[in-house]
Amino acid sequence: MTDRPQTQDAANSMWGGRFAAGPDAIMEAINASIGFDRRLYAQDIRGSRAHAAMLAAQGIISDSDAKAIGEGLLTVLSEIEAGDFPFRTALEDIHMNVEARLKEIIGEPAGRLHTGRSRNDQVATDFRLWVRDQCDAAIEGLQALIRAALSQAEAGADWVMPGFTHLQTAQPVTWGHHMMAYVEMFGRDLSRFRDARARMNESPLGAAALAGTGYPIDRFATAKALDFDRPMANSLDAVSDRDFALEFLSAASICAVHLSRLAEELVIWSSAQFRFVSMSDKWSTGSSIMPQKRNPDAAELIRAKIGRILGATVALFTVMKGLPLAYSKDMQEDKEQVFDAADSLMLALAAMAGMLSDLTANREKMEAAASAGFSTATDLADWLVREAGLPFRDAHHVTGTLVALAEGRGVDLPDLTLAEMQSVHAAITEDVFGVLGVHNSVASRQSYGGTAPDQVRAQINRWKEKLA
């Protein structure tokens, strides 16, 4: 995709008289992008129709030519959507394929479409429109995923489960609280895609090759027609900028990390050793030789998607890092990675939303696990500080001694007798047992954002209002 003339027959690869012969097969293969940039067809045709209408409004081409161009482009669009369009590698890219077919349909007026623009600003516009559409799709997918997580959180706002650090039992939390942690993560992803979309919503169209054009075009009109907020203010920047794609990939990479973390937890939780959740048959597969197996393949594949998405991000940063202004052919390599990353992200978002919607949490298993592993040790230490007046470091030491005592007996803290506890510290009273139950523990975490069920429900309601 370059700014060279586009006036000769397809047999000469539309390069005109500058070259005595067309490129050989290797050059054609490395130069052509139609194998992947055909995905931009709808954006290309939309941009071209807006450009032609503007040229007519400015008196640069006739109304009749603009009408023929507009109608011809709709014909091309219908051919592509019907699968009847003859894509040709010799024409290199989607722009030249569309323009060549337009000429076959309407004849001479097709040659006036490219007045006042270059393939440089054309591809920048097409690609920006496409990435903007992907931001919209990501936003929609994240909203669906957040709603699925909210449903899980609401159902289990007071279901107790172990909270972990280092994958070791730490303190009791609720299933609702755990689900709401992912709502917050995906909420930040939502805001990143919205921010990226707002920032990219400026039109490169009319920047031409790199310096603008001498034709009296109206860039504000084409920007408005394409639902951009405004035209980009510098023609060099307009054709050379790929920040919008980098921002999309960056947001996609962070979102994929969040998806991968949740997928990892689903893999762990659905194992025979945990059984905190049951995966629907829709999202699981069996083993070819072990009939008892139910494998969380969908979660595992989501977990792997971060590799593709992060790889695409690194690839495009690497392509862009050393490019001088304005356009270089290197930038043709900006699309395949973004296309693949967008496909991977949208699939992962849809699959995770589906899995969460069909997921069954095992309340009894989670509560049993929460009640083991000395998960209320911190509650005991806090009680010693609050009721017995111990400094926290002393309370920490006393609690550690009691944990060691319980561990030696093969029981949990609530199973120790009062006498056993008082043998470690005489200030301990019968009241201590009121804080050692896991339900009492979670109910006491009333600080803003804590795991207490009423705090969880407050956050659920806040997010429902945000989504509404």
Non-local CB neighbours of 32 within 8 Å, separated by 6+ positions: 89, 90, 92, 93
Q: What are the CA-CA distances from residue 413 to residues 122, 213, 409, 430, 443 (Å)?
A: 69, 79, 10, 13, 18
Q: What are the CA-CA distances from residue 464 to residues 136, 159, 458, 461 (Å)?
A: 20, 20, 10, 5
The tokens of 39 are what?
Answer: 């995905």
Judge contact between 143 and 189, C-beta under 8 A: no
Helix, strand, or coil here: 161? strand
Judge contact between 384 and 395, C-beta under 8 A: yes
Output phi, psi for 76, to 5 deg. Answer: -60, -45
Catalytic residue among 151, 166, 288, 447: 166
Helix, strand, or coil here: 174? strand
| Residue in 122, 123, 190, 113 with CA at minimum distance from that of residue 150 | 190
Query: Is-catalytic flag, 396?
Result: no
- Tell me 3's DSSP state: S
Helix, strand, or coil here: 416? coil
Q: CA 452 to CA 174: how far, in whole Å?
A: 8
Catalytic residue among 62, 64, 191, 287: 287
Query: Is-catalytic flag, 240?
Result: no
Q: CA 135 to CA 197: how far, in whole Å?
A: 6
- Residues designated as active site: 166, 287
